[in-house]
Structure 1
Amino acid sequence: MTQATRAPGSTGAGQPEHPQPHPPGPLAPRRTLATPRPNTVAAALAVVALLAAGVWSLVELRINAATLLDSADNAADFLGRMLPLDFPPAAEIAGLVGETLAIVIAATLLSVLLSVPVAIWAAANTTPNPSVRYAARALIVISRAIPDLVLAIVFLRIFGLGALTGVLAMGLHSVGMVAKLYADAVEQIDEGPRTAIRATGAGRRQELRAGVIPQVVPAFVATAMHRLDINLRISVLLGFVGVGGIGLAISQALEIMDYQRGMALALVVLVLCVAMELISGAVRRAVLGPAAAGAAPTGLTGFLSRTVRPRRRTGEPQRPSPRGGDPRADSAAALRVGRTRPPWTARRVLRTGYVAIALGVVAAALLPVARELSGIAGAGADAVDALQRFWPPEHGGILPALLDALLVTVQIALAATLLGAILALPVGVLAARNVAPNARIAQTLRMFIVFVRGVPELILAIVFVVMIGLGPVAGTLALAIGAVGLLGKLVADSVEEVDPGSEQALRTTGASRTQVFFGATLPQALPAFVAHLLYQLDVNIRSATLLGIVGAGGIGFYLLNAARVLEFGVVTFIVLLLFAVVMAVEVLAMWLRRSVGAAR
């Protein structure tokens, strides 16, 4: 470097002799902090306000260690009255389980059949008309906002006791969740196949049939199995208003304080829910892919992959590994040897078996409901009369009591969400395979989450009511424990779905496991955590309403009491109050999700 080209204040080696500050001017570099967006600040303040409201609710409801310690004697007395468990004969249990499963499967099938067209109308890429799209979205929101308990009360007035009431109540309410997830799946499809089909001159129905439906079938099946699991828990609740099955048997046992029989049947429900969770999880993995992260298939899938292999014809090239092969190369090889049908691989055998079993189970479930379908044709006049009884809405002179009960319901939901988050976040994080110290801990916690999810909140509420007494404390504790199952699973899935590149980059610098989690994993998963907490709050508001029917506090007590004394105008008024609260939470959740997403 020559003197003429040497920078001022530097040596020949290129090092500064005396570091000088940059003179102020338009070209001087400046270090500035990014100004947070107003929406981001408002979203952060809203989250802080929700946390503060949760703490306030815990204080107002007097949920503390002293309350739990005071109930220790009641808990011991309850255990003494509950044990030994009194199980009914095996044939009676089989009959109750069969009736419950028939109602649940038929209700889920009804929700799927109704949700598919509603989802197509609600998806932006399949329905360009905004009026139709907004109407479909409004229908989804209304379906979610009306509690299934209210629908059951309405259909009981029309059709009376029977399986049909439960099927219609659960099926119509399930449309709110199923159709929403279906519409989201339709909006996320790859538009390439659909565009190619449209280029051939195909009509709209052909586009849907060949370009949309094949892409969303796996997501549709997975959602249906998830809803089947949820409806099994709901069936226990509907038993308390007269819908048949094992829930009705539990209700009858608890009404006469036969805790030995009631808790025995509750244990049957627990085993049934856990089994349903495991089966639905296996089906979802088989439909969506048995080896998601490139892991070798295990269990039945692994056994079939080792025993069921397609025979190679003479001259046919060796098929590459399913995990590393190119599907286009497989197709080309199949055409060269003249094979036009896919081989019977382990995955195809499983899918065919699942389809055959599913069709048989659905057919068996529809038989008891089909016997009651003849009553629908003649129920037109009864339906009009029943619906007229629910209008106009009226508060029955107890408006202050209803508003106080609604506030208690919101407090139960807020407190339960906060407690559930405190319990579920560490469980969910350690259940994620990319964060857990080892695979055994992750698998153990995953099974723990499945077990907790298998316990219906209504059963927990009944237990806490007996142990602690009537009031919101029992409902809060029941929902908090229930949140560990749902929120823990959502958190674990979100942590496992983060981009591993950021984690690996920190590991290469020598960062510890804790530093990788707080530096790479948590920042990516945090927006999903916020969304999951809001979803849990939404679920808890609905659940807190329903738990009131067993004395767990909140407005549910007034809802059931108004139905029992035939004050259906009060029922409608309570439903409208709940609808307003649910819509407020829904709007808040949508705004926070957009704000958090924009801040990333």
Structure 2
Amino acid sequence: MNYTTKEPATLSPAPSASVLDEHAKGWRKKLGQSLLVLLIIFVASWHVGLLNFNTLANGVPAIGTLIGESLPPDFTNVASWVSPLIDTLAMSIAGTAIAVTLSVPLAFLAARNTSPHPVVFQVTRTLLNGLRSVPELIMGIIFVAAVGFGALPGVLALGLHSIGMVGKFFAEAIEHVDEAPVEAADAAGATRLQVLYHAVLPQVLPQFADVSIYRWEYNFRASTVMGMVGAGGIGFELMGSLRIMQYQEVSAILIVILLMVTVVDSLSGRLRKKFK
């Protein structure tokens, strides 16, 4: 009877020294980057006085006094805030609608895979960067000077500023589409517009909807600030109460704004679930 001898199982070779060295080098690089970020944060905090604990401690009593003067909230004029709240809500909806409507074509021009020419790509990207770099508050001041007081300058400011951000997010979503449907549409002889409509747009619609709803949520918060520069809405009422130092009324308006923001957040969350 023949017995076959089994050779002992060979052990997998230990990691080479070069692999360990590369791992240690990568770890040291990440540690150095983290320390650099922490250093930048420390320098920035020191520059703006965030680390000046004496100043912060001296400001605590003043904050306590201000809070004391704001309590209890005064809701005597709550009925007169309904119309400004409606203006604020309408301002956010109209501004978001303007932004989404204009951002869709601009996004296709600003995406690398759908832009018709590199020059068009660069010009559109520069336009989006320019709109995004000007704060909506500055735009609000400009439009108030141009068209007068009211909700219209707020709508224009929110809409134009939002184009810069919404268009950027839309363009990035387009750049990350799956190329397989696009190639299939091209192979079937579809025109350029047909490819965009049938192969690209269906893939990015959920992202477009999510960004649009989030931007509406943001614009509602921003529209409360727009009223402080004369663009109407509940922010105008808030600024009026601050000017005459009616802090109890200010706290009441802030509570109303908080409740409205909570409602808008809840509604936007439900809308986002429907589009997923």
TM-score by length of 2: 0.86
Partner of 1:251: 239
Conservation of the 8 A alpha-carbon contact between 2:81 and 2:237: no
Partner of 2:12: none
Q: Measure the CA separation in 2 of the matches of 1:276 and 1:34.
A: 50
Conservation of the 8 A alpha-carbon contact between 2:96 and 2:162: yes
Q: Which has the higher helix share?
A: 2
Q: Measure the CA separation in 2 of the matches of 1:183 and 1:44.
A: 34
Superposed counterparts of 1:475-490, under 5 Å? none
Conservation of the 8 A alpha-carbon contact between 2:92 and 2:219: yes
Partner of 1:82: 70
Is structure 2 residue 176 aligned with structure 1 residue 188?
yes
Partner of 1:48: 35
Q: Measure the CA separation in 2 of the matches of 1:14 and 1:210.
A: 61
Is structure 2 residue 218 aligned with structure 1 residue 208?
no
For residues 419-442 of structure 1, what are the alpha-carbon distances to aligned partners after superposition, in whole Å with 9 as ceiling and x for unaligned? xxxxxxxxxxxxxxxxxxxxxxxx
The letter of the residue matching 1:163 is: A
Partner of 2:44: 57
Partner of 1:521: none
The letter of the residue matching 1:203 is: T
Superposed counterparts of 1:134-283, under 5 Å? 134-283=122-271
Superposed counterparts of 1:407-556, under 5 Å? none
Q: 2:17 aligns with which of 31, 49, 52?
A: 31
Q: Measure the CA separation in 1 of the matches of 2:176 and 2:159.
A: 25
In the superposition, relative to structure 1, how do residues 203 and 14 fare at CA in structure 2: closer, same or farther (>3 Å)? closer
Q: Measure the CA separation in 1 of the matches of 2:84 and 2:45.
A: 39
For residues 527-556 of structure 1, what are the alpha-carbon distances to aligned partners after superposition, in whole Å with 9 as ceiling and x for unaligned? xxxxxxxxxxxxxxxxxxxxxxxxxxxxxx
In the superposition, relative to structure 1, how do residues 13 and 126 fare at CA in structure 2: closer, same or farther (>3 Å)? closer
- Tell me by how many angstroms 1:150 deviates: 1.7
Identity of matched residues, %: 36
- Tell me by how many angstroms 1:121 deviates: 0.5
In the superposition, relative to structure 1, how do residues 62 and 175 fare at CA in structure 2: closer, same or farther (>3 Å)? closer
Conservation of the 8 A alpha-carbon contact between 2:132 and 2:163: yes
For residue 108 of structure 1, give the secondary structure of its aligned residue in structure 2.
helix
- Tell me by how many angstroms 1:246 deviates: 0.4
Higher RCO, 1 or 2 (CA under 8 Å, sep at least 6)?
A: 2
In the superposition, relative to structure 1, how do residues 73 and 213 fare at CA in structure 2: closer, same or farther (>3 Å)? same
The letter of the residue matching 2:59 is: S
Superposed counterparts of 1:341-352, under 5 Å? none
Q: 1:130 aligns with which of 95, 118, 138?
A: 118
Q: Measure the CA separation in 1 of the matches of 2:57 and 2:124.
A: 50
Q: Measure the CA separation in 1 of the matches of 2:125 and 2:89.
A: 30
Q: What is the total number of aligned residue pairs between the two structures?
A: 264
For residues 468-506 of structure 1, what are the alpha-carbon distances to aligned partners after superposition, in whole Å with 9 as ceiling and x for unaligned? xxxxxxxxxxxxxxxxxxxxxxxxxxxxxxxxxxxxxxx
In the superposition, relative to structure 1, how do residues 205 and 62 fare at CA in structure 2: closer, same or farther (>3 Å)? closer
In the superposition, relative to structure 1, how do residues 262 and 158 fare at CA in structure 2: closer, same or farther (>3 Å)? same
Conservation of the 8 A alpha-carbon contact between 2:135 and 2:161: yes
Q: Measure the CA separation in 1 of the matches of 2:129 and 2:25.
A: 30
Q: Measure the CA separation in 1 of the matches of 2:53 and 2:136.
A: 34
Q: Measure the CA separation in 2 of the matches of 1:254 and 1:202.
A: 60
* Aligned CA-pair RMSD: 2.7
In structure 1, runs of 5+ residues without a counterpart are 1-5, 7-11, 16-28, 289-600
- Tell me by how many angstroms 1:242 deviates: 0.9
Superposed counterparts of 1:234-383, under 5 Å? 234-288=222-276
Conservation of the 8 A alpha-carbon contact between 2:134 and 2:161: yes
For residue 244 of structure 1, give the secondary structure of its aligned residue in structure 2.
coil
For residue 22 of structure 2, give the secondary structure of its aligned residue in structure 1.
coil
Q: Measure the CA separation in 2 of the matches of 1:270 and 1:37.
A: 49
In the superposition, relative to structure 1, how do residues 133 and 13 fare at CA in structure 2: closer, same or farther (>3 Å)? closer
Q: Measure the CA separation in 1 of the matches of 2:56 and 2:164.
A: 37
Superposed counterparts of 1:375-414, under 5 Å? none
- Tell me by how many angstroms 1:187 deviates: 1.4
In structure 2, runs of 5+ residues without a counterpart are 10-14
For residue 257 of structure 1, give the secondary structure of its aligned residue in structure 2.
coil
- Tell me by how many angstroms 1:89 deviates: 4.0
- Tell me by how many angstroms 1:47 deviates: 4.8
Q: Measure the CA separation in 1 of the matches of 2:226 and 2:32.
A: 39
